[in-house]
């Protein structure tokens, strides 16, 4: 898997490391095998985590509001990320309808 398969504002799940099992949002696409992720809570934007993409499970959900802001370089707050991740968990994980690759 390459970084071009990831989009800004995409919801991913960590499969390795201390944050294993946590849902995060891609905030920046780095080099070939790395992305910056944040959850707005334990991993805030100011100290976003650089993770190898092989340690992430990609979901099919991209948060359109965050995607638009991140692509335009507009300010995104930790509260925004928390709000959209909470909404994602509530809407998509009830009944585990979301397909995770």
Q: Where are the alpha helices (DSSP H) in the chain?
A: 64-72, 78-92
Question: What are the tens digits of pLDDT across the range 51-101?
Answer: 999 999 998 899 999 999 999 989 999 999 999 999 888 887 665 554 454
Is 100 part of any domain? no
pLDDT of residue 88: 87
Q: Report the number of distinct structural domains present in the chain.
A: 1
> Could you tell me the residue range of the domain that residue 42 belongs to?
3-92
- The three-class DSSP label of residue 16 is coil
pLDDT of residue 90: 85
Is 18 part of any domain? yes
- The three-class DSSP label of residue 81 is helix
Q: For residues 45 and 38, is the Cβ–Cβ distance under 8 A? A: yes
Q: What is the CATH number of the domain that holds 65?
A: 2.30.30.30
Question: What are the tens digits of pLDDT across the range 3-61?
Answer: 668 999 999 999 988 889 899 999 999 878 899 999 988 889 999 999 999 999 998 89
Is 97 part of any domain? no
- Is the model's pLDDT at 2 over the cut of 70? no
Is 44 part of any domain? yes
pLDDT of residue 15: 93
Token pair recorded at residue 6: 């990831």
Is 43 part of any domain? yes
């Amino acid at each position: 898997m390459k970084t071009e398969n990831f989009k800004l504002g995409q919801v991913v799940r960590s499969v390795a490391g201390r944050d294993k099992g946590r849902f995060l949002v891609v905030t920046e696409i780095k080099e070939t095998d790395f992305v910056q992720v944040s959850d707005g809570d334990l991993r805030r934007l100011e100290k976003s985590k650089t993770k190898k993409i092989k340690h992430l499970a990609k979901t099919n959900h991209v948060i359109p509001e965050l995607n638009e802001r991140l692509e335009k370089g507009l300010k995104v707050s930790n509260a925004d990320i928390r709000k959209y991740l909470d909404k994602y968990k509530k809407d998509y994980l009830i009944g585990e309808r979301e397909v995770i690759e």
